[in-house]
Structure 1
Amino acid sequence: MLGLGTGLALIIAIGAQNAFVLRLGIAGRTATVLPVVLVCSLSDALLIVLGVLGVGAVIAAAPALVTVVRVLGAGFLLVYGALAARRALRPGGEALEAGPGAGEVLGRGAAVATAVVLTWLNPHVYLDTVLFLGSLANQYEGARWWWAAGAVTASFLWFFSLGFGARLLRPVFARPGAWRVLDGVIAVVMLALGVRMALGG
């Protein structure tokens, strides 16, 4: 239970990955949402396992690698944030259609690729999962894998709930103005995280 609770506390925080999954969940079809939430959940699971196995020490010993990931991730977030800002300020017809799939501007392949980048080019994911969660799990010695299983379960619960639960908000987003507000919020989140990441925060 401790692993589950700690994992949820870290994952639920508003971030680029969550903002992307939320928008996709509201707008996307199951064929697009499913592989994206699987990428997010399985990536977290792999990173948590690596942390339990002690890979965090390797990452800590290679600050140059973390810097490269930080720069690439910051660049991607700034570009994605700028695109979200453009959608908010100058929405296209595709983003404003009502009904299932409304606002879906990414195909399945592009959505999965975006999820991969948002996950693996975010240096904070290594700090949170590999270093922090891995270190906490190893404090439980014989029960570390049970603790890690709880954290992995938290990741799957959160991303599947976010991705597939977001469809409940579709009636709200039948109005064009709601998409502009959402994209505005996503733009602020992405740009703020990108600037923070670029500055090394």
Structure 2
Amino acid sequence: MGTALTATAAGFGTGLSLIVAIGAQNAFVLRQGIRREAVLPVVAICALSDAVLIVCGVAGLGVLVTAWPSALVVVRIVGAVFLLSYGALAIRRALRPAAALDGDGPTVRSGRRAVLTCLAMTWLNPHVYLDTVLLLGAVAATYGSLRWEFGAGAVLASLCWFAALGYGARLLAGFFRRASSWRVLDGLVAATMLAGAAVLAAGA
């Protein structure tokens, strides 16, 4: 079906369309980018995790996700609790925006916490299995022998997106020198997390 370049471009476009929407993971990466805290490991975790999931989908492992619906229910519940907890922290930060301006740079503790939070936010979200493994895998299958080229395009889209989001966020640093700006961002993050938790809880 078409050429390798066509399949790669289709994979890039499809992959990008699935990850650009504002969600818990994107909101977290954006905040880390603005704070300039553990940006490289956070971007790497997001991109590598997507790559693993995309490879699984292209390889046809999506059937395993549908074979254990009870596992997805557990992931939904745990993910909802996690997002509720992170949303509560975001609300707390929104009420104390000046705290976001404290400190001159990332610390070992904040970097470790960012990595653990990013891992949880990525792998405890059942939508990544449904969208990345099942949906992308199904679309890739339509490309037959070119499905791996399609998958490569999707992996490239993920890498480009998270790198742009994480490192491009620093362009907003001037705007976020004001505590009120952090109040708005953390309010948005809180709303995103709580909405995500509600969706997960409703589907559990």
Letter in 1 for 2:32: L
Aligned to 1:47: 53
Aligned-partner residue type, residue 48 of structure 2? L
Paired residue for 2:163? 160
Q: Which runs of 5+ in 1 are unaligned?
A: none
> For residues 13 and 184 of structure 1, do their structure 2 counterparts lie closer, same or farther at Cα, with a shift above 3 Å needed?
same
RMSD (Å) for aligned C-alpha atoms: 1.7
Match of 1:78 among 73, 80, 84: 84
Contact 2:93 2:99 in 1 (8 A): no
Distance 1:114 1:145 in 2: 30
Unpaired runs of 5+ residues, structure 2, are: 1-8
Match for residue 118 of structure 1? 121
Checking the alignment, whether the CA contact within 8 Å between 2:78 and 2:124 is kept in structure 1 is yes
Distance, in Å, in 1 between the alignment partners of 2:151 and 2:60 is 13
Once residues 108 and 27 of structure 1 are traced to their aligned partners in structure 2, the CA distance between those partners, rounded to angstroms, is: 11
**Deviation digits for residues 18-70 of structure 1, max 9, x if unmatched?**
000000000024xx110110000000000000011111101101000000100
Q: Is this contact kept in 1: 2:10–2:153, CA < 8 A?
A: yes
How many corresponding residue pairs?
196
Matched-pair contact (CA < 8 Å) for 1:95–1:105: no
Deviation of 1:101 (Å): 3.8
Give how far 1:106 is off. 6.3
Q: Normalised by the size of structure 2, how large is the TM-score? A: 0.92
Give the aligned partner of residue 20 of structure 1.
28
In 1, distance between residues paired with 2:176 and 2:197?
26
Q: How far is the alpha carbon of 1:4 from its aligned partner?
A: 0.2
Q: 1:169 to 1:106 in 2, by over 3 A?
A: farther
Deviations 1:137-176 (A, max 9, x none): 1110110000000000000000000000000000000011
In 2, the alpha carbon distance for the partners of 1:129 and 1:164 equals: 23
Which of 139, 142, 148 is the aligned partner of 2:142? 139
Per-residue deviation, 1:107: 1.3
TM-score, with normalisation over the residues of structure 1?
0.93
**AA aligned opposite 1:94:** A
% identity of equivalent residues = 58
Distance in 2 (CA, whole Å) between partners of 1:178 and 1:24 is 15
AA partner of residue 137 (structure 1): A
2:17 aligned with 1:9: yes
Report whether the alignment pairs 1:34 with 2:40: yes
Runs of 4+ displaced beyond 2 Å: none
